[in-house]
Structure 1
């Protein structure tokens, strides 16, 4: 049995935290003795870890400016301070501080894996949690394998830091059967009306997620007489500004902020179109979940979307990452007869490629091979 450590910053609402829980819960526990460790003991996703998964944490509370404070210590010193125990495989499941910590393991018998979830674009950005670009390169070179969540993330990371370590693409794990089961739960009929085209967005309410772009588009569509309603699933620092815009523009009957939902699938499944307006993504967990549910996807072009939906929009609609392009893309679903039905069928077909079984077995194969 291989003893495996997965290190992540915390267990918050993010997609990486969610797919890590999905992955470790479904791995073969007769082959892998799994520990999930957080740098900081916070986040809703911890409660979903199976009892067979050991959970550890370094600090009970989040430390303000922790990334800068951690730079004061070498990666070797951080590893001794934080990890302490010995594992056969140590996985840095997020870029930045987690990668810096795991890279500090000097035991030649321990295999090290770094998981890259988002495009970095520049060496300076990739090195933000390191003392310098030179240190970032040195740390990543100590890993035995670098895992990227999409081909575009892989190409970006190769070009950005040029690390001479084997790179591999492994898609995120979604609990496909559970997602489909939970999607059958009822939704309060008072908030969803059959005569509206229902748009949905899922994610933490951050500027990078672009929810403000969608609410502005909804305002335009309403002014043009389209029967549209936008449902937002998630919480975050942008909630107040979104709420203010909704109130100022009298959009309370057209936009509903549903907050963080333990079961977002019952809403996504009952909506007509999933929207992604992010300025940056890795390989969107929310979009893959929409496909599993058979909900059509309209997205701006960010990392992984053409890989997910096809270069020629076979499985969903990808538009340029501009406000006007997204507006025109969404509007097409109102104006082109049968487009929603077409992409609903295509979404269901593509969603089968992200089954739990397929993605977990590929990760296990990688861990056994290094």
Structure 2
């Protein structure tokens, strides 16, 4: 359905906890930076005014920061307030559509809107494993149910996330899948930039992964996989692009497993694509994901991928391993998947070619267009 709004722009608010170095935050910036400003008046607002992606927003996108610092335990404090009280605390203007771009804290705030003219959208980025996980920011399951039922549309980043949401919550609103927006041409262009801070050894098999260092990314498992690969004679070297709270723990594991010489923390990089393109293999060791932006980007630059079977993996790499290798979500299976990729040059060359083919699917314009059409439809309901 195409709508003609004349000179009146649709006023859209994207609400998110922060714009720190995470996949959802980066995808949101990609999305709003490529939307049609002749149709949409866009504001991005955070609960906490922190994060490196604040400076990446286009000048046409208005930014409103929340509290000037992030404090631990905020979830417990916020439970003292009702969603309506939180909404009144944060959101001071009227909008045609308000989008909670993450499940949980921002969804609870947005659900407190009492303006019937304002349409609400919630974006689900993760699988809801169980009731405790799905409701940790809410007072109880009943409040979580009321929250999600208040939205006019539920957007999920993958079919797996959609299935898990529908299994957990029963809502009347449509639940649809919208794939993450990545800057395809920018990624390819930036991947050609020279690497100056590290040097990949051509005598080694250079494995790379890009993520915030947190338990869900499974890097503790990758440490053990790397130890076994080296013990079995594979000259693999792991490079991790990112930073996070798990780094000290991971460093200790690396030392305990005697793989210090074959593991490198590259740190956070605003341009991870040049590292991914020049590595031999991308590995996603995650225990859970929504729809891996980093795997998508690896495919775009043509780097073969081995991934655990977390949410979105089969949608990205094929239900029968057409475009990459998807393993069971455990340490031993991940080891076998990497071993299969690097043991046979024909297999490796096949997946390198398939990665490029699959990468062509993720067009920036198509993913943005799908979201824009959804927002127009919701606003017109």
Normalized against structure 2, the TM-score is what? 0.95
Q: What pairs with 1:22-171 in structure 2 (closer than 5 Å)?
A: 22-171=30-179
For residues 80 and 331 of structure 2, what CA distance do their matches in structure 1 show? 41
CA offsets 1:223-244 (integer angstroms, 9 cap, x no match):
2221111110010111112222
For residues 345 and 243 of structure 2, what CA distance do their matches in structure 1 show? 34
CA offsets 1:23-56 (integer angstroms, 9 cap, x no match):
0000001111100000001111111111111000
CA offsets 1:226-282 (integer angstroms, 9 cap, x no match):
111111001011111222233344423311110111110000000111101111100
Q: Which residue of 1 aligns with 2:204?
A: 196
Are 1:272 and 1:340, in contact at CA under 8 Å, matched by a contact in 2?
no
For residues 192 and 300 of structure 1, what CA distance do their matches in structure 2 show? 25
Instruction: Give 1:191 deviation, angstroms.
Output: 2.3
Q: Which residue of 2 aligns with 1:252?
A: 260
Instruction: Give 1:187 deviation, angstroms.
Output: 1.5
SS in 1 for 2:261: coil
Q: Which residue of 1 aligns with 2:336?
A: 328
Instruction: Give 1:189 deviation, angstroms.
Output: 8.2
> Aligned pair in 2 of structure 1 residues 185, 85: CA closer, same or farther (>3 Å)?
same
Q: Which residue of 1 aligns with 2:218?
A: 210
Q: 1:306 aligns with which of 309, 314, 324?
A: 314
Are 1:141 and 1:165, in contact at CA under 8 Å, matched by a contact in 2?
yes
Runs of 4+ in 1 over 3 A off after TM superposition: 247-250
Are 2:99 and 2:123, in contact at CA under 8 Å, matched by a contact in 1?
yes
Instruction: Say whether residues 1:21 and 2:33 are aligned partners.
Output: no
For residues 156 and 101 of structure 2, what CA distance do their matches in structure 1 show? 10
For residues 249 and 133 of structure 2, what CA distance do their matches in structure 1 show? 27
SS in 2 for 1:353: coil
For residues 136 and 247 of structure 1, what CA distance do their matches in structure 2 show? 43
CA offsets 1:312-345 (integer angstroms, 9 cap, x no match):
0001100101111100110112222311211111
Q: Which residue of 1 aligns with 2:231?
A: 223
CA offsets 1:80-126 (integer angstroms, 9 cap, x no match):
11111111110000111100111111111111000000001223321
For residues 97 and 208 of structure 1, what CA distance do their matches in structure 2 show? 19
Are 2:154 and 2:175, in contact at CA under 8 Å, matched by a contact in 1?
yes
SS in 2 for 1:253: helix
For residues 40 and 288 of structure 1, what CA distance do their matches in structure 2 show? 28
Count of residues in correspondence between the two structures = 370
For residues 277 and 125 of structure 2, what CA distance do their matches in structure 1 show? 26
The CA RMSD measured in Å over matched residues stands at 1.2
For residues 345 and 25 of structure 2, what CA distance do their matches in structure 1 show? 39
Instruction: Say whether residues 1:295 and 2:300 are aligned partners.
Output: no
For residues 256 and 114 of structure 2, what CA distance do their matches in structure 1 show? 57
- Stretches of structure 1 lacking an aligned partner (at least 5 in a row): none
